[in-house]
A and B are shown apart, each in its own frame.
Chain A
């Protein structure tokens, strides 16, 4: 493999590597006919990220030297990232970046041609590996949300950088809601602040989901793709399904596309009816003339805006076991595509009494039920395709 990146694309490549580094510790580099693919997966196999750079992204792109099979390699993310560590430096001083895979010496050579005749050569050792494949199909997800990355960036701004998980859902009036998700602490005397952001559907380029639909995923991992999308000024699409099934975050332009597939928390069990946020979502204040004018600004507020009795005792909350993030059966090696359905059914049958989706939605905004651990069987993990060597 040999390819050459020039000009502003060097920084784009660098940013992509930064994004990927938020997910996994190893980078799978695979030159394909339709471009160079950079992939990674996290250690718990609950997040997968992939960028595909089309041949046009490069000034020169050669997937494989003629006569040879294309090489695939796995490199330490830290090593690869160190080449692109300083984005500022990339932008200011690097004119060209040349990458080539040398099968004989098992080295990925990355050469940065900088200003003033300076040339930096990095020889990164790699391991041969199987192809990292995740089977996912955005088209199979019933729900879709698409917005400029800038909007989503503003949407996550109120949340603390340390927040691990966030719930995304559609509330009353088809407003898109993001709410901080807190796992129930063993030490329940210390409660965390809950932050919620609500955005009207008009701000979204596409919204294909009914009220009540929601998923909970790792915000930190999502931020990885979001920062890339913001810097490239792209739109970000979120394809999702029922809780427990992975959510697909996608960006695309003419020269590249990126996909982050993140597991979502699985569906709550029936006994977590203990709704935490039981008042209906506040309707968005309307600008246009309303038939019933609201003179008192507080009238549109939530029902229980009155403080409780003095000696307050925190009500006994339903005990919830820690939810697990599991990959849906959808992520499987390609040869098991039929097994996929069986797995999905098996999943449902081990959780008897799980409310059918409709019922769940009617209880919803209202509240985001903190999903409890559904006793799933061992979830299939993202496995490397065990193709033969070479």
Chain B
């Protein structure tokens, strides 16, 4: 297995950093899948409430150089597990970087090594290296980490500005643990909470219903720092809500199952 890649453009680096920060906000450990044309961040946690996330980054849009060799010819992919926070922290130190290289290495244990060449006033350059320990995921576990099928939704609607939703949901969290998301084909979205004393509904515009854990929804919203180019919410009534966000060229899908 081999992997080496380089980011030479500041904007690409910023974008990649933001994506990794977003992933770090959603879970402690995540899986990184490396294939010839794309990188994926995957969170599959069927045991713990079934929240899962699938994020795909087309590699050409980020890396000026990208070489990988998977496990074998037939299985040309690499799956590793790492602490998402390590990656986001490493990338954050690359604020003034001239170039960033990332590669898979073996320094007594498998690592994702991030090497950053910093801009320096003097003639000599400064280098920062981060060795992020990773766990290689054996082939037999790969099938749990495949792209989830987008469910046949009862309703599909475009999302309103995420920041607005986040501030609303943040206040609602204090009243109830359960959030009802309703959407209809007319383009209305309601976020509703009900308790014994009070019922609060925020209308965005449409209807078709699912009840989810408010904290999971909030966690998802908290991770979104930039409003996506396009955000779609698919609801399978009483089963789950699926968010499909597109940030320029990175697609992120997030699934929240309904509370039973």
Q: Is the CB of A317 within 8 A of B139?
A: no
Interface residues of B in 73-125 (CB under 8 A from A): 78, 83, 86, 89-90, 93, 101, 103-110, 113, 115, 117, 120, 122-125
Residues of A within 8 A of B127 (CB): 196-198, 282, 284
**Candidates A191, A195, A200, A312; contact of B129 at CB < 8 Å:** A195
Counting residue pairs across A and B whose Cβ atoms lie within 8 Å, the total is: 125
B12 lies within 8 A of chain A by Cβ: no
* Known contacts A297-B6, A307-B2: A285-B117 contact under CB 8 Å: yes
B200 lies within 8 A of chain A by Cβ: no
Against A, the Cβ 8 Å flags (1 = close, 0 = not) of B1-14 are 11110100000000
A139 lies within 8 A of chain B by Cβ: no
Number of interface residues of B (CB under 8 A): 41
Interface size class of A (residues with CB under 8 A): 35 or more
B71 lies within 8 A of chain A by Cβ: yes
Residues of B within 8 A of A196 (CB): 127-131
Q: Is the CB of A310 within 8 A of B105?
A: no
Q: Is the CB of B129 within 8 A of A198?
A: yes
Against B, the Cβ 8 Å flags (1 = close, 0 = not) of A270-299 are 000000111100101101000000000110
Q: Is the CB of B126 within 8 A of A198?
A: yes
Q: Is the CB of B122 within 8 A of A307?
A: no
Interface residues of B in 37-72 (CB under 8 A from A): 65, 71
The binding surface of chain A is classed by DSSP as loop
A305 lies within 8 A of chain B by Cβ: yes
Q: Is the CB of B129 within 8 A of A310?
A: no
B132 lies within 8 A of chain A by Cβ: yes
Instruction: Report the minimum CB–CB distance from A171 to chain B (whole Å).
Output: 10
Which among B6, B89, B113, B125 has the greatest number of chain A C-beta atoms within 10 A?
Answer: B125
A residues with a Cβ closer than 8 A to B are 154, 157-158, 160, 175, 191-203, 276-279, 282, 284-285, 287, 297-298, 301-302, 304-312, 314-315, 317
B residues with a Cβ closer than 8 A to A are 1-4, 6, 65, 71, 78, 83, 86, 89-90, 93, 101, 103-110, 113, 115, 117, 120, 122-133, 136, 138-139
Q: Taking A197-B127, A282-B127, A301-B115 as given, write out 14 further A-B residue pairs in contact, using a Cβ cutoff of 8 Å, ordered by the A residue number.
A: A160-B89, A193-B86, A195-B131, A196-B130, A276-B108, A277-B108, A284-B124, A297-B101, A301-B101, A304-B106, A306-B2, A309-B1, A310-B136, A312-B110
